[in-house]
Structure 1
Amino acid sequence: MENDDPALVTLKPFEYTINGAVFRVEYRDLTTISADVLVSSDDINLSMGGGVSLSLLTRGGHEIFHEAQRTTPISLGDVVLTGAGRLNAKKIFHCAVIDYSSPSSTSLEIVRAVTRKCLALCDAQGFASIAFPALATGAASLSPERSAAAMLMAIADYLSGVTQIRTITIALFPRFAPDHDVATLFYAKIADFVELARHLESTSLALAKLEQVYRELGSEKAAVATADSRRILGSRRDRLEDAFSFTEPDGSNGSTAWLGPLEDVESELERVSAAVDRQHLPSGVHESLGQQGALSARATEWLAIERQYKEERRGALRALIAIREKYVTELELRAAMHGLGDPGKPEGLDVESGALIASASSRLQWLKDQLRDLEAELRGSQELPRDRAAAARQKKRASKSARGSSKVAPTDGTATHLLHLSDLHFGDSEDARLWSSQLAEDLQVELGCARLDAVILSGDIANRSTPEEYAAARSFLDYLSAAFQLSPQQVILVPGNHDLHWGLAKKSYKLVEREDLSAPPTEGSFIDIGSGALRIRDEALYPRRFEHFARFYEDIRKEPYPLAPEAQALVYALPSQDLLVLGLNSAWNLDHHFRDRASIHPLALSRALDQIRSTAAYAPYVKIAVWHHPVASPFPDRITEHGFLERLTQAGFRLGLHGHIHRADSALFRYDRAASGRRMELLSAGTFGAPTREWVPGYPLQYQLLRLKGDSLTVETRRREEPGGTWKPDARWTTDRGKDPLPRYTVRMA
């Protein structure tokens, strides 16, 4: 390796190969590299006034600068070609990655876009080799390693297609190279992420082929489910790449920010395997798979796609395992370096470090078990895995496969189980891991509930409606979905007041002088701030305050959530349970200023009821409505207009679920005065996760399990008083004079 300064650190290049093309990262002066193209990182004026651009100018000659200036200024993200002067190259690609009038506009997405543009231009010009610096470092403030990580992801994606480029180099300035061991581990981790991204992309391609086969066979439901799985997997892959691009090699800057998105990819990859399920095939094709002799053309095509999918999933699992193994090693080394004892002995660690290592090791073993089972399938082995845990997993998968994508209808005499949670107020991923484990243990062990037919969240899922809080909620629901084999259609979500983002709400109001108004503003659409000024609501921006909730909703249910208030009454039919749930947004008219006008949008409700009334199949279903705010409360943030209850009761709804008041409660709305008349039970679940300062005196954390059997509904209430404790019976419902209260009560639904 060539260096003018003998004091510069010398590190072995990181190197990787895709489709015969080699790309590498070297700690080396870019001007000493021989390549068809050298890339310059510059501003929009191509001033070549510092860093790598100045080095190229100094060594290549001023004719490079004069030629570049004939094209300036250019736009951020543009690339300009010039000659290379005295440099050992044919061309220089000048990239505009910073605008000094707006430095914050530089981003990792700009880095990735410019990288892709340079590679495409290299191909178009017929060049076979290109060398980059770390783009957007220096004045643009990105670290070389973060820039290189973002560039490598873009390079790997580009090389997966057709290209004539054979060699790609990223040259990082060697004086600032990290410790050798740190750099080696960092780039080895990048290689694992690149390998994972490749296999995830190939998995998506296999799913696209599968979707096409389903459509040709007329299996529209399976085609839609496969398309949704492919889209969600792609979205989670993109988030993982974004998170990993923020990782620093020395462990600073939140170097584990990628762990949450990685877990999302792991969970989604396991769940997406349900799309490749022979039960989705029409009976003729499905039966031919189990017959000896010649297979039908469709069966042969199916088997080829199934094999391709499994091979790509195996590759992705191997990459995930490699990433996890390095992470466990990092945790153990970090513990050892901080004098926490022998990382191989749990007693040598502090509690937090030991818990992290144990959790990471458990996740790693889970991935290895999946890989072992999958490889047995690929070998055509009919034998069960050797250990009991794997055998249990295989039995669980077989049971899920036999049911297809939805739950089995309860047999006669079997209750329908509905889990009602409200006011979860998620904060971070640690909440998700703890709460999901505590809840599953209580349901399965204490209550003997092996099956859930639906999970209903009646609002305030987040605390401040941030993406981070919804990521934690997503992890929580992923855990529950895996534990109880829930499909996306069995998770019902409605927003609460904490699920609208106050920052987005504030941005939807624009400052206007009263004297500039051509007509008086509509009541409730402005904020009078005095001194003749108003903040007027922008009706186009106002619905976007639910944008973060809508993204979370789409992640979970794999379908969009409408931001238009008049569309926020959604019908969820669960035919296997003869159940219909109507989700309503009682916070549609709330924001940071107007906090006390909870209501149900009348047009949204009308549209939903019209849909229900015109669908004959819904007539015999048990009908449940879900919203967030109470209709009876001593506080002004309740729903004061009760006309929606009359319409729901008239339409045959017997049960209303809500939250907000942070205490379990029960009330009865009567439409008719007769004892057997139309009525609606209103149940509040209490708060599942609010901080202790927001608990109502005498009411700790609570949730409800509803058991519906025939005309009888049993409401089981549970309580938890200690953050790290267990759920217990919440005995607060009195039945008669002199009798102890019970943790459950029964409602007659007829």
Structure 2
Amino acid sequence: MRYSILHLSDLHRDLADEVPNVWLIDSLVRDLEAVSHDEAAPPRPALCVVSGDLVYGVSPNAADGDKEIGRQTVQALEFLVGLADRLFAGDREKVVILPGNHDVTYKRVLESIALVPMPTDSGERAALVAEFFKPNSALRWSWRELAFYRVIDHAKYSERLAEFAGLYADFYQGRRRYSLQPEEQFDFFDFPDQKLSLLALSSCHGNDPMQRAGRMHPTALAEARRQLSASSRTGWLLAAAWHHNLAGGPSQDDYLDSSFLQLLIDGGVALGMHGHQHRTECFDERYRLGPEKRKIVIASAASLCAGPTNLSPGAPRGYNIVEIDNEALTGRLHQRQMVNLQFSTPVWGPGYFFDTNRTYVDFELSPPLASRPNGLDLQLVMESADRLLGGGDWIGVVNLLSEHMEDSLVRKYCFRALQELDDPFATIKLLSGPRDISEAVLLGTAVAETGDSEARRRYLADPFVLASTDASIEHIVSSIKARAAK
């Protein structure tokens, strides 16, 4: 099965020359249409990953800072909603979002910290420096002021992603929430049609403008690693997304220690996606903790909306299309770049990889850790149906089981739901070709109630109905014929 993932990142707008949402969405839709005519065209994207930095952010001393961060948040939300509407018929579950460092609200950070007076004693200064370099230190260093600060209100500090959490809840219309507790900051997005499960991670644990390095909370990573092995994901391709890049120059500190990749590989993750570095890249990371010859393919996306001062030298704005073949376990990363100079009205075109001199680069994927057992999908469907029945969600049961009506147990569950639902049209659609007297009676009652001539013809010609000597069915047949004769 071939499908594509639209990979966007770093949506933070150039505040001096912002891209309007209408143009940005239209430009992406037009470019995806243009790509579809290329010789090496990928399938139309089945889902989208937005790997962080949804807003630019606001200086804590800015006038009307709260109003401005609110404006940027609404702007990002409207873009994401518009993108889901245009590309995925409004299905927001097909758009995966996660936070980046720009989504951290600086004002909330400053409200949670206090200046630490610099000791005059050399020993006390040395102790302060040692505390600063300890793991999970509450100390922060301001180069601007050449001063230490300490986080004194950890609850307030956790709220630095509150605006992102609000956007998250609004975008997914309350079906998903983003916890402000670092150990809970991950989410799974399962795509049964693509046989893909995608883990969205936060690389912003402890991240703020005074501590720029990306980190993941160990508890969140451990729990996410555990949930990767859920039976419902067995045999699927596993992918993960986060924000920060995995390496930087000697003067940089705003990247993520790549050692966590070994845990993802061990859990079966074969594909990783991130942003932050504002340039497209693709490479492999090998498994080093055991004899397994596994790897993870890492794809980074360029910035979709950054201004000239935020772009990497020689790297224009861009985005990726990640093409996947689940059966062949291969992929292709397509690079798209901004090809004009008007930052407020970008136009996209092909970008070229230096190592291939092509608009794409091919890669191989490690296989799932285990094959998917036969019958697992139907078993999971039935478990979900059982929960829905227990909760009285008859419509949910019918919608869930409608594609599995060839199974006898499914038909029993659906029959019960149709009895409670009392929707004759749904009954006619799902119980055509009745297999027993109960189904024939319920179907015949629905046919008689609707008076649908085509449904009547099929019912009266059905072999089971014709052969039946049951009094209830004979009575329904007589009633249908009498009504048709009027």
TM-score range, shorter chain: 0.5 to 0.7
Q: Which residue of 1 aligns with 2:347?
A: 726
Q: Which residue of 1 aligns with 2:453?
A: none
- Opposite residue 569 of structure 1, the aligned amino acid is F
Deviation per CA, 1:621-678, whole angstroms, max 9, x where unpaired? Answer: 1111111111122153344533311100011111111111111111211015999810
Q: Which residue of 1 aligns with 2:210?
A: 593
Mapped to 2, the partners of 1:645 and 1:609 lie a distance apart of 11
Mapped to 2, the partners of 1:570 and 1:533 lie a distance apart of 34
Checking the alignment, whether the CA contact within 8 Å between 1:631 and 1:638 is kept in structure 2 is no
Q: Which residue of 2 aligns with 1:545?
A: 160
The one of 277, 288, 313 aligned to 1:697 = 313
Q: Which residue of 2 aligns with 1:240?
A: none
Query: Which blocks of at least 5 consecutive residues in structure 2 are unaligned?
Result: 59-68, 120-126, 367-486
Structure with max Cα Rg: 1
The one of 37, 48, 57 aligned to 1:464 = 57
Mapped to 2, the partners of 1:655 and 1:531 lie a distance apart of 41
Deviation at 1:563, TM superposition (A): 0.7
How many equivalent pairs are there?
Answer: 328
Checking the alignment, whether the CA contact within 8 Å between 1:511 and 1:536 is kept in structure 2 is no
Q: Which residue of 1 aligns with 2:296?
A: 680
Instruction: Flag the 1:533–1:418 CA change in 2: closer, same or farther, 3 A.
Output: closer
The one of 95, 100, 103 aligned to 1:496 = 100
Give the fraction of aligned pairs with identical amino acids, expressed as a percent: 27
Q: Does 1:426 align with 2:41?
A: no
- Opposite residue 312 of structure 2, the aligned amino acid is V
Mapped to 2, the partners of 1:718 and 1:533 lie a distance apart of 43
Deviation per CA, 1:447-474, whole angstroms, max 9, x where unpaired? Answer: 3578432110111111106221121112
Question: SS at 1:745's partner residue?
Answer: strand
Question: SS at 1:540's partner residue?
Answer: helix
Q: Which residue of 1 aligns with 2:276?
A: 660
Mapped to 1, the partners of 2:276 and 2:233 lie a distance apart of 29
Mapped to 1, the partners of 2:45 and 2:361 lie a distance apart of 19
- Opposite residue 610 of structure 1, the aligned amino acid is R
Checking the alignment, whether the CA contact within 8 Å between 1:452 and 1:486 is kept in structure 2 is no
- Opposite residue 525 of structure 1, the aligned amino acid is A
The one of 624, 629, 636 aligned to 2:239 = 624
Equivalent residue runs for 1:388-407 within 5 Å: none
Checking the alignment, whether the CA contact within 8 Å between 2:353 and 2:361 is kept in structure 1 is no
Query: Which blocks of at least 5 consecutive residues in structure 1 are unaligned?
Result: 1-412, 736-740
Equivalent residue runs for 1:29-428 within 5 Å: 413=1, 415-426=2-13
Q: Which residue of 2 aligns with 1:83?
A: none
Instruction: Flag the 1:486–1:538 CA change in 2: closer, same or farther, 3 A.
Output: same
Higher relative CO (Cα under 8 Å, sequence separation at least 6) belongs to 2
Deviation at 1:505, TM superposition (A): 0.9
**What's the TM-score, normalizing by structure 2?**
0.62
Mapped to 2, the partners of 1:539 and 1:609 lie a distance apart of 26
Question: SS at 1:608's partner residue?
Answer: helix
Q: Which residue of 1 aligns with 2:76?
A: 473
Deviation at 1:426, TM superposition (A): 3.2
Mapped to 2, the partners of 1:599 and 1:496 lie a distance apart of 11
Question: SS at 1:582's partner residue?
Answer: strand
Checking the alignment, whether the CA contact within 8 Å between 2:198 and 2:240 is kept in structure 1 is yes
Instruction: Flag the 1:683–1:732 CA change in 2: closer, same or farther, 3 A.
Output: same
Checking the alignment, whether the CA contact within 8 Å between 1:708 and 1:714 is kept in structure 2 is yes
Question: SS at 2:309's partner residue?
Answer: helix
Mapped to 2, the partners of 1:725 and 1:443 lie a distance apart of 14
Checking the alignment, whether the CA contact within 8 Å between 2:24 and 2:346 is kept in structure 1 is no
Deviation per CA, 1:477-526, whole angstroms, max 9, x where unpaired? Answer: 222212121412111111111010111111111457799xxx99885213
Instruction: Flag the 1:532–1:495 CA change in 2: closer, same or farther, 3 A.
Output: closer
**What's the TM-score, normalizing by structure 1?**
0.41
Instruction: Flag the 1:650–1:450 CA change in 2: closer, same or farther, 3 A.
Output: closer
- Opposite residue 234 of structure 2, the aligned amino acid is A
- Opposite residue 729 of structure 1, the aligned amino acid is P
Instruction: Flag the 1:483–1:527 CA change in 2: closer, same or farther, 3 A.
Output: closer
Q: Does 1:441 align with 2:36?
A: no
- Opposite residue 690 of structure 1, the aligned amino acid is A
Deviation at 1:444, TM superposition (A): 2.2
Question: SS at 1:563's partner residue?
Answer: coil
- Opposite residue 55 of structure 2, the aligned amino acid is A
Question: SS at 2:162's partner residue?
Answer: helix
Deviation at 1:603, TM superposition (A): 0.8
Instruction: Flag the 1:498–1:667 CA change in 2: closer, same or farther, 3 A.
Output: same
The CA RMSD over aligned residues, in Å, is 3.0
The one of 20, 27, 48 aligned to 1:455 = 48
Q: Which residue of 2 aligns with 1:403?
A: none
Instruction: Flag the 1:692–1:427 CA change in 2: closer, same or farther, 3 A.
Output: closer
Checking the alignment, whether the CA contact within 8 Å between 2:4 and 2:43 is kept in structure 1 is no
Instruction: Flag the 1:512–1:624 CA change in 2: closer, same or farther, 3 A.
Output: same
